[in-house]
Structure 1
Amino acid sequence: MNTLSRLTASAKICETLVELHAMDTAVQLLRARIADASICRAACCFLAALAGDDSAKARLGEALVPQLAATALAGHTDEAAALDACAQLVAALTTRHAANCAAFADAAGGDALL
């Protein structure tokens, strides 16, 4: 996933990765292994890179990723790299997307940030 994160330089590449189910795989991996800080960091970095594309951002919201991000933030308070990746994901998900902001807030994401 670290390599894929670096490939998301354009909207076309993001669309291709979504079509190849890379986004779905990363979401499933994050959901299944959210307690593992290293997997959480890698998945959050990749998903944050994809969330730069507005259509991917909407799909991530539909996949309940804002709620996963809140859970990841709360679960990795002692892992700086995982926290940084989670915060990047939250920023990418919520920028210019009110529904994702609301979903993150409803999942107590604000409390997790504090």
Structure 2
Amino acid sequence: MDFGGFILFMLLAAGLIIFGLCVAAAFLSRSPQRWQRLRLWLAGVVLLSIFGRYLYQVYWLDERLYSAVLRGDVHQVKVLLASGASPNATWEDGTTALHAAQRGGKKEIVLLLKQAGATK
């Protein structure tokens, strides 16, 4: 996912905040459509949480894992793998963390990635 995914996430979050105010106003005015609006708002919250989890995985964990592999930071690789980073994460050009470690001659990191389940 690229920067467009982040923008979409922010637009969805802003929409939910605005729609949440509309739901609150519907409940305060005892509108007959208040339960329908609440269900729609809750569905949006669920979608936002799922999308947010995906963005966290891609932009926070996987990208940092790839950077730690390139730096040769064994401790950071261990921490990120324990936090849930994907050992098969790929970079923008399709290079995986395992391939970058092998290319850089970082044998300890290669072993860590393979133990974590890296196959590519």
TM-score (norm 2): 0.37
Rg larger in structure: 2
TM-score (norm 1): 0.38
